[in-house]
Amino acid sequence: MKRPTKNTGQAHKRLTRRALVLGGMQLAFAGGLAARMRYMQVEQADQYRLLAEENRINIRLIPPTRGRIYDRNGQVIAQNSPSYRIVIVREDAGDVDKVIADLARLIPLKEDEIERAKTEMRRTAPFLPVTLADQVTWEDISKVAINAPALPGVTPEVGLTRQYPRYEDFAHVVGYVGPVSDYDLSKMEDPEPVLMIPRFQIGKVGLEAKKEDLLRGKAGAKRVEVNATGRVMRELDRREGQPGADLQLTIDADLQEYAQARLAGESAAVVVIDCETGDLRAISSTPSFDPNLFVRGISVADYQALTQDNHRPLANKTVQGTYPPGSTFKMITALAALEAGVVGPGDTVYCPGFLKVGSRRFHCWKRGGHGMVDLETSLKRSCDVYYYDVALRVGIDKISDMARKFGLGIKHDLPMSAVAAGLAPNQEWKRRVHGQEWLIGDTANASIGQGYMLASPLQLAVMSARIATGRTVTPRLIRSINGVEQPTGAGEPLDVNPRNLEQVRKAMFSVSNDRRGTAYRSRIIADEFRMAGKTGTSQVRNITKAERAAGVIRNEDLPWERRDHALFVSFAPYDNPKYAVAVVVEHGGGGSKAAAPVARDVMLQALYGGTPPLEAYPVADRERIKEQQKRLEGDRRPKARPEKKDRA
């Protein structure tokens, strides 16, 4: 069958030829591969190297530590404390449902948290930890740690969370932080990448929100090597971030605490301002709430309790609450009249109990009237008719200008939420806003701080400080940022005749030091700390003719929300003013009864830098004050309250 001879012939030649052709083609192709390899590995190497690095290296953000907040003496108001959370790693857990069920028997787990965790697990890589429970108590963490062998894939993790060790005391000033929400992100134009870190906390309300840029700091970053599925293999290098700035407030935490305790039970606000620097020593609004609740996510029930309370715990009454200043406004009216020269300090006005303006009677609070009153008497006894009279002479525009000079009707620049501007109306304002002409009756109302007139407790405190010093004292909340002192609010001398101011101050002195003064009962008898002040009682309802005829209903007989607001503004010591204090007790009744004692107590606390000696109080009050001091001491003692146990 084999014919070797054949192969030597033409067929063999052809085979050789074709083998060489095919072999040549193969080698040519191999050469082409080599050329391609050269092109990719030599000419384009840098480009591919870059792509490989991009593949391999991930930038992970290191969240910055939030700046802490201290009071003026270095007491901690907001800090970052370790918070424990429980995470589960799917690939280690095996049967996730079973492990979660086991865990739920051990410690309380929220149903919605479990659902959220399960959804997250479906989306993420199996080796990534997913949070099952946040803000877990140490006790629960211990339980999990002990039972770790029975809970594969479950590990406790520690992170930092905001904590407010003073609880209710600073809720309104400092506000609180919370996890970044989609809503927060939607409001920002170009959100920083650090905000995308799950559960990253940002300021939501108050100082925390207003000074977010200072407090947040700058995120650091670490470069990590990841594999194709995103698992971190090792850390390559890291650039530390910059922690947020530490803020020191002007507030004295102890005084704040005292004010908070003193106002407990009332819907009220007190502001203590340093007359020399404008430092807010205390700015407290009651009732308050525990900001820590919001940090860890407030429950629906807790939140409803806060919103449905008619004392409005969530509102910061010191800056966002505006009230008719009532008689505390009378200094402004008096000053406007004195400055305009329409009345002298010794000039008298006759008060028969009312003033007839046009066809309408404007009543004095005292039915029988005060008789002949001069400036000092009118302020001391809070005669309304005197102010109706001089206001009609000077006109609303000058009163309004004077109010603005003293910080009413203008918005003070404070890093707190919803700082209100209040209202010091004039003719132009009414035309603009209401489209109506200013009426002479409006002037009468405004002269005693009623009608359109509105002021916040903060503004009243600023007003008092300005009266006391004659300077444009401006409130200051932040004393230093990272140790750098901030400019004070001492201000410039006011454009008001000092002699006129002195007259008003003298009248305010007699309010709380003259036997017939409306705040005589709330006087300070320590000679070096004599207090000047002014009471105010602002109506929140109209008193009808019929009611006036039958005798005005006493506050005690009215439902709470229809009672008058009680106000008191003051400064002390009289001869060398150190502090100005404004108190507003919502629906508290009369200013002399409900507000002045609070202002006096807070003032003494501030002046003595602690519990004042009983000798500072009038002899008759000492027994009662002693009781009160004992009670408040008791209230204030337990600040470090135990962690709430129920999490379900």
Binding stretches for other proteins (CB under 8 A): 1-2, 4, 6-12, 14-16, 18-20, 22-23, 26-27, 29-30, 33-34, 36-38, 40-42, 44-45, 47-49, 51-53, 55-56, 225-229, 233
Contact 321, 420 (CB under 8 A): yes
What is the C-alpha separation between 605 and 585, in angstroms, rounded?
A: 19
What is the C-alpha separation between 61 and 195, in angstroms, rounded?
A: 10
Phi, psi (5° rounding) for residue 167? Answer: 50, -125
What is the C-alpha separation between 250 and 259, in angstroms, rounded?
A: 15
Tokens of 56: 């391999």
Closest of 540, 542, 538 to residue 552, by C-alpha: 542
Closest separation between CB of residue 28 and other proteins, Å? Answer: 11
Closest separation between CB of residue 128 and other proteins, Å? Answer: 16
Tell me how far CA of residue 94 lies from CA of 11, 100, 109, in angstroms.
Answer: 69, 11, 20
| Residue whose tokens read 């050329």 | 35
Nearer to other proteins, 226 or 439 (CB): 226
Closest separation between CB of residue 222 and other proteins, Å? Answer: 17
Whole-angstrom distance between the N-terminal and C-terminal Cα of the chain?
A: 95
Closest separation between CB of residue 124 and other proteins, Å? Answer: 16
What is the C-alpha separation between 298 and 236, in angstroms, rounded?
A: 40
Nearer to other proteins, 7 or 544 (CB): 7
Closest separation between CB of residue 39 and other proteins, Å? Answer: 9
Nearer to other proteins, 30 or 146 (CB): 30
- Which ranges of 249-313 does DSSP label H, i.e. alpha helix? 253-262, 291-295, 300-308
Closest of 510, 516, 565 to residue 540, by C-alpha: 565
Nearer to other proteins, 113 or 225 (CB): 225
Phi, psi (5° rounding) for residue 512? Answer: -115, 10
Closest separation between CB of residue 237 and other proteins, Å? Answer: 16
Contact 475, 458 (CB under 8 A): yes
Nearer to other proteins, 62 or 226 (CB): 226
The alpha carbon torsion through 36, 37, 42, 48 (nearest 10 deg) reads 100
Contact 296, 135 (CB under 8 A): yes
Tell me how far CA of residue 371 lies from CA of 352, 383, 386, 387, in angstroms.
Answer: 6, 10, 10, 14
What is the C-alpha separation between 453 and 422, in angstroms, rounded?
A: 8
Nearer to other proteins, 37 or 185 (CB): 37
Contact 285, 268 (CB under 8 A): yes
DSSP state of 644: P
Tokens of 570: 């003051």
Active site residues: 327
Nearer to other proteins, 24 or 82 (CB): 24
Closest separation between CB of residue 88 and other proteins, Å? Answer: 24
Q: Which residues contact 625 (CB under 8 A, 6 or more apart)?
A: 601, 614, 617
Q: How many CB atoms lie within 10 A of CB 496?
A: 19
Nearer to other proteins, 228 or 619 (CB): 228
DSSP state of 564: P
Nearer to other proteins, 52 or 543 (CB): 52
| Residue whose tokens read 């001091």 | 629
Nearer to other proteins, 17 or 431 (CB): 17
Closest separation between CB of residue 53 and other proteins, Å? Answer: 8
Closest separation between CB of residue 87 and other proteins, Å? Answer: 24
Nearer to other proteins, 9 or 352 (CB): 9
Q: What angle do CA 144, 156, 227 make, to 5 degrees?
A: 135
What is the C-alpha separation between 137 and 84, in angstroms, rounded?
A: 7
Tokens of 377: 């008497």
Closest of 418, 420, 415, 421 to residue 477, by C-alpha: 415
Closest separation between CB of residue 11 and other proteins, Å? Answer: 4
DSSP state of 499: H
Closest separation between CB of residue 5 and other proteins, Å? Answer: 10
